[in-house]
Structure 1
Amino acid sequence: MSLASHLEELQRKHGDIERQLDEAMNHPSVDDLEVVTLKRRKLALKDEIEKLKVQTTH
């Protein structure tokens, strides 16, 4: 997998998690642990995306 396609895949996953998080936050019966888990996954993907972007600019 090329670096560009890997970056695109990570961005797609980040968007998917963001939508899941928005959906979870709109349901009053959502488990707080689920929200925290989604936020952590989203942040981890964001960090990895930023790291790859730095690699592609050097």
Structure 2
Amino acid sequence: MQDAPALANALQKLANENKSFPKSHPLFIFFYYTHPPLIERLRHLGVKIDDAPKR
């Protein structure tokens, strides 16, 4: 997909503007989310996600 970086950038900006929390418990996602969480979308687009906490 040639527009994957642009879509990833747009999704990240939307999440930032909406102040959404990027990580949620899988059970919470199962019951309350109607769409995949941001991290799952970015991984599907091929964006490398670093799950390690920043120091």
TM range (shorter): 0.3 to 0.5
Q: What TM-score do you get using the length of structure 2 for normalisation? A: 0.43
Greater RCO (Cα-Cα under 8 Å, separation 6 or more): 1
TM-score (norm 1): 0.41
Larger radius of gyration: 1
- Please state which structure has a larger fraction of its residues in helix: 1
